[in-house]
Amino acid sequence: MQGKKFAAAATAALATCAVAHADELENNTVRTGYAKVRFHLQSGDLSGPPGTTPPGLRIDARDLDIFAISYERRLSDHWALQLQAGIPPTLTAVGAGAAAPVGTVAKARIWFPTAMVRYTIPGFSVVHPYVATGVTYTFFTGQEISPAYNAALQGTGSDIKLHSSWGAYARVGVEYPLDRQWRLNLEYSSFRLKTSAAVDTRTPGFGTITRHVDLKDAPGILGATIGYRF
């Protein structure tokens, strides 16, 4: 009798552990996919020492295609913590305003790793709509000025420094479970980008001339990803 009770207790304990383990297996999700970033860059005028910079020179940015990667940790039935990154795309800055004829003026790798808290809206059986908010840190690597910029400002070469910044990040989306582990996800996001650039141009007869431009934006990001829960 004691052996039967022990066996029953052990079976119940193992079943409980299995359920707990199965629940634990569904607390993590990894997503990969594609995202399109659309810029609406607001640029100040490029400024420098008096008499060195024509008025009305501004900057715009071309839209980006991104391979997105994110990790999510479920905190409860409706709340989750999400971390996202991706392969940093090359941001291409082009002339705007009086600088539009110049074309490409600079290129850089743009990084914006993001941490968010996500809330899944209850009451839906087929799809899972959600909202998320968090913070992103934008920084740049591989920054370089184009020959067209140097030619337009009569320089022999230039160095550029784009400053990093923190910004708010917001998202709305919907998730569709394909089965217990696989999910299809569609989302729209936006984040606050505010930075400035300093460009040092080596100019014959004048030495190095430093120019600045202020930039801000709230890029829109449309993404489609596939997720795996484990």
**Does the pLDDT of residue 41 top 50, yes or no?**
yes
Does residue 150 sit in helix, strand or coil? helix
What's the pLDDT score for residue 219? 96
226 pLDDT higher than 60:
yes
For residues 43 and 213, is the Cβ–Cβ distance under 8 A? yes
| pLDDT for the residue 86 | 83
Global pTM? 0.81
Mean pLDDT of the chain: 89
Question: Residue 46 to residues 32, 148, 209: CA-CA distances in angstroms?
Answer: 38, 15, 12
Residue 167 and residue 191 in contact, taking contact as beta carbons nearer than 8 Å: yes
Task: Identify the residue whose tokens are 């305003």.
Answer: 97
pLDDT at res. 23: 47
- Judged on CB neighbours under 10 Å (0-12, 13-18, 19+), 22 is exposed
Sequence-distant (6+) residues with CB within 8 A of 127 are: 174, 175, 176
Element (H, E) at 129: strand 128-145
Please classify residue 191 by burial: count the beta carbons closer than 10 Å to its beta carbon, then call 0-12 exposed, 13-18 middle and 19+ buried: buried
Nearest residue to 31 (alpha-carbon basis) of 65, 69, 67: 69
Q: Which range (7-11, 147-151, 213-217) has the least confidence?
A: 7-11
User: What's the mean pLDDT in 31-60?
Assistant: 95
pLDDT at 26: 78
Rounded to 5 degrees, φ, ψ at 179 are -160, -160
Cross-strand partners of 117 = 81, 133
**Which residue has 């900057």 as its token pair?**
59
- Per-residue pLDDT at 197 exceeds 70: yes
% residues pLDDT > 70 (the chain): 89
Q: Which CATH number fits domain 28-229: 2.60.40.1930, 2.60.40.10, 3.40.50.1820, 2.40.160.20?
A: 2.40.160.20
